[in-house]
Amino acid sequence: MSTLPNVRKSAGLISSQAGRSLRDLVLENPAAAPVFETFSLDYCCGGSQTLAEACQSANLSSEDVIARLEQCDPGIPQKDWRGEPLSDLAQYIVDKHHAFTRSEIARLQDLIAKVISVHGGNHPELSSVRMILESVAEEMRQHMWKEENILFPHIARMEEAARIRRRPPQSPFGTVQNPVAMMIMEHDAAGQAFQKMREITSNYAVPQDGCASYRALYQALPELAADLHQHIHLENNILFPRAIELEGQWS
């Protein structure tokens, strides 16, 4: 019996997947996110690029990535936020991702100071990592404050106004697209900062003389980056587009 039809079917599936955006692949299957993290494919800030485009830019085989996607374990079912209230999604982001970012950055600031005190002389790149981390800490502090105190409450007021069929109160920033654009720019900057840390550390490779604290630091930094990617994905690809669409209903 000829296997040609199966080969064509498989090729068609690969072509179909490769032509889809990273954002849509993660929206439909959250288990795809860890796979993209493994291959360092940006599904949050760069989520609009297709899988084929992202693989080409990273010099990766799209077939290899798709094969890994097909093998990934979906794990515990995750909530599909595309149809949930925006206020619930915003609160989830604050409770899960903002809280983790604050506590983890504070912990890593202490940890990297300890590592530098022991290994800084032999590994000057640690000072660069520390500078980047301090910059991210300050930028994220301001970024999360603006979301929690200005943007998210406004989105909640828009949603409540839509629920009771009343026009939402005017905002101090005009259209919601203005703060959204600023938040996306800041997301891009944070993503680039973590990419720079990955390059400086040769993909977080612990040197031979690295101690347990050194290993803990280089394990925690990519974990923080992965959580940030999830955080940005929920905002860039779900919360913000839906908020803009909601506002557009009043135009």
What mean pLDDT, rounded, does the chain reach? 89
227 in a structural domain: yes
* Same domain, residue pair 67 and 181: no
Task: Compute the distance between CA of residue 70 and CA of residue 73 in angstroms, rounded to an integer.
Answer: 9
For residue 16, what pLDDT is reported?
75
* Same domain, residue pair 19 and 124: no
* Same domain, residue pair 50 and 149: no
Helix axes 177-200, 212-234, angle to 10 degrees: 150
Query: What letter does residue 207 receive in the DSSP assignment?
Result: P
Kindly report the number of other CB atoms within 10 A of residue 208's CB atom. Answer: 4
State percent of the chain over pLDDT 70: 92
For residue 31, what are the domain limits?
Answer: 4-71
Q: Is the dihedral of CA 105, 106, 112, 115 positive or negative?
A: negative
Alpha helices in 96-124 (DSSP H): 99-119
Q: Is the dihedral of CA 184, 189, 194, 196 positive or negative?
A: positive
103 in a structural domain: yes
58 in a structural domain: yes
Task: Report CA Rg, the chain.
Answer: 21
What tokens were used for 64?
């290899």
* Same domain, residue pair 91 and 208: yes
pTM of the predicted structure, to 2 decimals = 0.85
pLDDT, tens digit, 9 for 90 and up, residues 5-38: 443 344 444 557 788 889 889 888 888 888 888 8
* Same domain, residue pair 90 and 129: yes
178 in a structural domain: yes
Structural domain ending residue among the three candidates 43, 71, 99:
71
For residue 9, what pLDDT is reported?
40
pLDDT, tens digit, 9 for 90 and up, residues 173-202: 889 999 999 999 999 999 999 999 999 999
What's the structural domain count of the chain?
A: 2
User: What residues pair up with 50 in beta bridges, in sequence order?
Assistant: 21
For residue 21, give the 3-state DSSP assignment.
Answer: strand
Q: What is the CATH number of the domain that holds 13?
A: 1.10.3910
* Same domain, residue pair 95 and 24: no
163 in a structural domain: yes
Answer yes or no: is pLDDT of 42 > 90.
no
165 in a structural domain: yes
For residue 8, what pLDDT is reported?
39
For residue 251, what pLDDT is reported?
63
76 in a structural domain: no
Average pLDDT of the segment spanning 215-224: 96
pLDDT, tens digit, 9 for 90 and up, residues 117-133: 999 999 999 999 999 99
Q: Is 76 left (phi over 0), alpha (psi -120 to 50) or beta?
A: beta
Name 212's Cβ contacts closer than 8 Å, sequence gap at least 6.
none
Answer yes or no: is pLDDT of 91 > 90.
yes
